[in-house]
Homo-oligomer: A and B are copies of this chain.
Amino acid sequence: MTSSTNVLLIGTGGVGTIVAYGINYVGKANISVVVRRDYDKVSKEGYEIHSCDYGDIKGWKPDNIFPNVEAAASNQYDFVIVTTKNLPDIVKVEDLIDPVVTPQKTTVVLMQNGFDLGRPIIAKYPKNVCISGVSHIGSHNTNGVIHQTQKDKSLISYFENPNLTKEEQETKTKEFISIYSNEKNNCTYFPDAKWYRYRKLVYNATLNTVAALTRVDTGRLDFSGGLEAVSIPAMREVISIAKADGVELPEDVINLVVHSDDGDWFKPSMLVDIEKGNPIELEVILGNLLVVAKELKVETPILSLVYQLLKVVQFKLKEDKGIIDPLPEKRPISDKFYS
């Protein structure tokens, strides 16, 4: 279709493809996508999608398909949506999107897991709006075929940019919703991104991380005593940071979070990543939170230690993926004196 609004989406996995399809379905914007691994297949055959929202689709093609971000830079974009995993210790989103962000024009939409994701974007693009999308979709890309099993439900707000007025940020956010929200999905404006991201962290920084470190699901974490000994005290640290940051979480938030996996032996995302040998979203789930804790002088003995331990795990995950330089066969001897 032809439209004056140009949208680029980077990261056409299970989530990103459904977002791109949803924008195409609304029909108010041109939708371009960056497809790396499946570029040849998608540019020839289009997407095969089995969606609980949109039904069975074969051969769908976005308006433009690019093999990488550089190739997409031939156009200018009103919105650049990032639906990749957020791994700043491997690829920084603000650098990834550099070729396709026009200063003062392009709105950056981060539909990603994690906390305080807007900070590096706003630092690098101080006059651009940065939107926060929290998606509750269940959707997976299996060998290039998209299977969406849980409805596309998303809460959209913006990461506060002090260089811009609230009005222009809110307007852009609502404009984004208007090109994406349709009668098949559930895309709503949520006024307080910060509150919502803190609320999610009560789970993610404490149950997701500790389950990953100990390699058990959240049910076994409870049965083995780790929930009460580690995760719940860690939740109290998250609540303290939020409070120091002006965010008041519900009084019963710990109880709500603990019971959120009731009835399931549930494996959170970081545990699934570790089991697959994939790097974990440690920096955006825990590292960014600890930066804020430090700025606000909140003590975080448990979260800090869990973070340091998971950094070791992340090192090994990266080594096994060949993301860091290979280690020498013989361990080098350091002459450092430790005390």
Contacts and interface: CB of A to CB of B under 8 A. Distances in A.
Interface of A: 210, 213-216, 219-226, 229-230, 232, 252, 254-255, 258-259, 261-265, 301-302, 305-306, 308-309, 311-316, 319, 327, 330-331, 333-334, 337-339
Contacts of A255: 337-339
> Which of A302, A309, A334 is most buried by chain B, counting CB atoms within 10 A of its CB?
A309
By Cβ-Cβ distance, the 5 closest A-B pairs, closest first, are A224-B315, A226-B312, A214-B312, A229-B308, A219-B331
A216 B338 contact: no
Contacts of A223: 315, 327
Given A309-B210, A331-B263, A333-B263, A316 B226 contact: no
A259 to B, nearest CB: 8
Contact of A334 (B222, B308, B338): B222
Nearest to A253: B339
B337 A225 contact: no
Contact of A331 (B215, B225, B258, B264): B264
Given A222-B334, A223-B327, A312 B216 contact: yes
B264 A312 contact: no
A263 B330 contact: yes
Contacts of A216: 312-313, 315-316
B263 A220 contact: no
Count of this chain's copies in the oligomeric assembly: 2
A222 B332 CA distance: 11
B327 A262 contact: no
A254 B312 contact: no
Contacts of A219: 327, 331
B213 A338 contact: no
Contacts of A312: 210, 214, 216, 220-221, 224-226, 230
A306 B316 CA distance: 19
10 contacts: A210-B312, A214-B316, A216-B312, A224-B314, A225-B311, A225-B312, A230-B312, A255-B338, A263-B333, A264-B331
Nearest to A316: B216
A308 B225 contact: yes
A259 B262 CA distance: 47
Nearest to A264: B331
A309 B311 contact: no
Contact of A302 (B222, B262, B305, B313): B305
A252 to B, nearest CB: 7
A333 B264 CA distance: 9
A315 B223 CA distance: 9
Contacts of A229: 308, 311
A220 B312 CA distance: 8
Nearest to A218: B331
Given A210-B309, A262-B334, 20 more contacts: A213-B214, A214-B316, A216-B312, A216-B313, A216-B315, A219-B331, A220-B319, A223-B315, A223-B327, A225-B315, A229-B308, A229-B311, A230-B309, A230-B312, A259-B338, A261-B331, A263-B330, A264-B331, A301-B305, A309-B309
> Which of A214, A226, A229 is most buried by chain B, counting CB atoms within 10 A of its CB?
A214
A38 to B, nearest CB: 32
